[in-house]
Each structure stands twice: as C-alpha cells, then as structure tokens.
C-alpha cells in the first residue's frame, strides 16, 4: 500500500483547527496507517515549514489566515512543494475571525491593540518593527491556488476525517452548496413577527421540554440567525449543533458559495422574512467569519 505524505501548517491560526483534527480520536490512528505526517507544528519539533526540508508532499493542509510576510513566505513554499493544498478552517478559506481586523487599517489596529491608558511602560506601543504585517488579513486563495476548501470554525472532526479519507484516495472532496437553513428542523411560517432584529439579551421563545422541531425559527422570531447564508458543513448527519443548543447560527462555516458575500445575502434573507436590515446595529458583524477577499474594508477615516 502506498503511504501518502501529508504536511500540516498553521498560519494566522488559533490552533482550534488542529485540535479538531486530533479530536478525530482513535479514528485518526486509522488514517495514520495510510499516511505519513511529515510536518505538523502542534505535534512535531520542527515548528515551521522552513525547518522541514523534504521532497514533494502529496497533501498539505493549511489552517489560518495570511496577515504577515512570514505567513506569505510559508504559504508560497508549501504550495510549491505540494501536489494538493487543502485550506482548513474558515480563517484559511474566508479570513475567519481575524479578518474582523480588516475594519481598520493595520496601523490603526496595531495602535489599538498595543496602546493603553495604563502608565505601565511595557503596555505602550512597541517602537521596533513588528515583523512585516501585510495591509490586511487575507484568505489563502488570494495568494496561491487552493485545491480543496474545508471551512468551519473549526470544521467538525468527522468532516475532516471524511475529507482526508477522500484526499488519500485521490479525490477532490467538496461540500454541497446547502445552507444551514436547508438542514434546520425548526418551524417556519415565512414571515417575521415584528419586522425588527431583537437584541440578543432577550431570550427566544421555545419550550425546553419540546423537541427542536417544535421551536419557531430564530430569524422569524426576530433574532439574527445566519443560517440562510451559511454553508451547512456542521449539519450533515444531524440538525445544526447551535440550533439544537437553542442558539442562533453565527455563520462559522462562511458563505454557502465560496465566493459569496454573507452581508449582502443576509440583507436579502432578512427582507424575505419581513425584517428591516437597518435595525442591525453593526452590519459589519455579518462578515465576522468572512471578511477577507476585500469584503470587509476599513471604517472611513481609519488610518
């Protein structure tokens, strides 16, 4: 049996995607019979792809966004050496949570992060070069060709396993263009009740003793649920986990179509249930997982 060489690298990432890989549990060991993991900073001593000098890699799995020259250098090197490149997690596919930074210029964001009203010296803005930040947060496919997109924050371990199994067999797995709403069992009547978005401090109406199928759709109750414009990667075998936990979808798998714009699509979805989109206090938050690709831009006047 041919053993496939697999490398995994993280760029601007929180390590949640790697933990999701490990959360495959014992099933990860089954995969390890068919692959050789040649690089994975979470597990190995060589911490970056630069320290790892090997020949051609069959499959590379890269998590995290691109925000620095170092990320870009690593990404290009990985692309050069890999037959197939899989973007793992919504940071890698759409910028993810870090791309909220795109609401400001990099300089303004860094000043905000490092400056403080505190008198303590070590909390002031560093006067040394902060190692080559790019002008904004990018998804991987803005710089290199990406063969497989596996969004999710993080993707479900069962989904990672399914994708890896298919990749090992030589396939190019992808998710069907279904929305979270397409997989949601809640009751829908086709119209919002109040015409406005409610603040999340109020509780939606549902009876905890009743099954989820008897609960009225969050969006139609007036709560911001991103289900209509979010890819249903979390809900292949069961109802969407957040909805099951009686919480609106936050949009963590990114748009239904990889080149979609969740903000525009959500405005249409709100109109279709009679909710006035202007009642959303911060419309930019609709792009909280998908602000790369130039979708989230600095506030006017942000320098």
Q: Which residues bind ligand SF4 (CB under 6 A)?
A: 13-14, 16-17, 63-64, 89-91, 96-97, 153-154, 180-181, 184, 186, 188, 217-219, 225, 227-228, 230, 234, 240-243, 248-253
Least distance (Å) between residue 115 CB and ligand SF4: 25
Q: Residue 79 or residue 250: which is nearer to ligand SF4 going by CB?
A: 250
Least distance (Å) between residue 1 CB and ligand SF4: 31
Least distance (Å) between residue 238 CB and ligand SF4: 11
Q: Residue 4 or residue 13: which is nearer to ligand SF4 going by CB?
A: 13
Least distance (Å) between residue 193 CB and ligand SF4: 13
Q: Residue 4 or residue 150: which is nearer to ligand SF4 going by CB?
A: 150
Report the 3 state secondary structure along the chain. Answer: CCCEEEEEEECECCCHHHHHHHCCCHHHHHHHCCEEEEECCCCCCCCCHHHCCCCCEEEEEEECEEEEHHHHHHHHHHHHHEEEEEEECHHHHHCCHHHHHHHCCHHHHHHHHHCCCCCCHHHCCCCCCCCCEEEEEECHHHCCCCCEEECCCCCCHHHHHHHHHHHHCCCCCCCCCCECHHHCCCECCCCCCCCCCCCCCCCCCCCCCCCHHHCECCCCCCCCCCHHHCECCCCCCCCCHHHHCCCCCCCCCCCCCCCCCHHHHHHHHHHHCCCCHHHCCCHHHHHCCCCCCCCCCCCCCCC
Least distance (Å) between residue 293 CB and ligand SF4: 16
Q: Residue 4 or residue 221: which is nearer to ligand SF4 going by CB?
A: 221
Q: Residue 4 or residue 180: which is nearer to ligand SF4 going by CB?
A: 180
Minimal CB distance to ligand SF4: which residue? Answer: 227
Least distance (Å) between residue 156 CB and ligand SF4: 8
Q: Residue 57 or residue 217: which is nearer to ligand SF4 going by CB?
A: 217
């Amino acid at each position: 049996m041919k053993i496939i060489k697999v490398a995994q690298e993280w760029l601007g990432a929180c390590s949640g995607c790697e933990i999701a890989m490990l959360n495959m549990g014992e099933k990860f060991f089954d995969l390890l019979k068919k692959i050789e993991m040649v690089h994975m900073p979470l597990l190995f001593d060589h911490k970056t792809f630069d320290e790892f000098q090997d020949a051609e890699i069959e499959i590379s799995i890269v998590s995290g966004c691109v925000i620095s020259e170092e990320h870009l250098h690593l990404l290009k090197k990985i692309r050069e050496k890999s037959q197939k490149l899989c973007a793992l997690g919504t940071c890698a596919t759409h910028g993810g949570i870090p791309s909220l930074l795109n609401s400001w210029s990099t300089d303004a964001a860094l000043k905000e992060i490092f400056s403080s009203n505190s008198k303590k010296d070590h909390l002031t803005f560093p006067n040394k070069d902060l190692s080559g930040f790019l002008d904004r947060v990018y998804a991987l496919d803005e710089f290199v060709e990406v063969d497989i997109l596996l969004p999710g924050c993080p993707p479900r371990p069962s989904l990672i396993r399914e994708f890896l199994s298919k990749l090992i067999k030589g396939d190019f797995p992808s998710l069907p263009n279904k929305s979270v709403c397409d997989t949601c069992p809640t009751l829908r009547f086709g119209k919002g009740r109040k015409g406005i978005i409610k603040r999340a401090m109020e509780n939606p109406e549902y009876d905890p003793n009743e099954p989820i199928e008897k609960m009225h759709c969050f969006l139609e109750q007036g709560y911001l649920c991103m289900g209509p414009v979010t890819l249903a990667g979390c809900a292949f075998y069961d109802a969407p986990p957040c909805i099951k936990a009686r919480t609106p979808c936050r949009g963590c798998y990114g748009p239904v179509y990889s080149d979609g714009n969740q903000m525009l699509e959500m405005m249409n979805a709100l109109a279709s249930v009679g909710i006035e989109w202007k009642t959303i206090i911060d419309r930019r938050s609709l792009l909280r997982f998908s602000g790369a690709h130039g979708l989230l831009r600095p506030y006017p006047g942000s320098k």
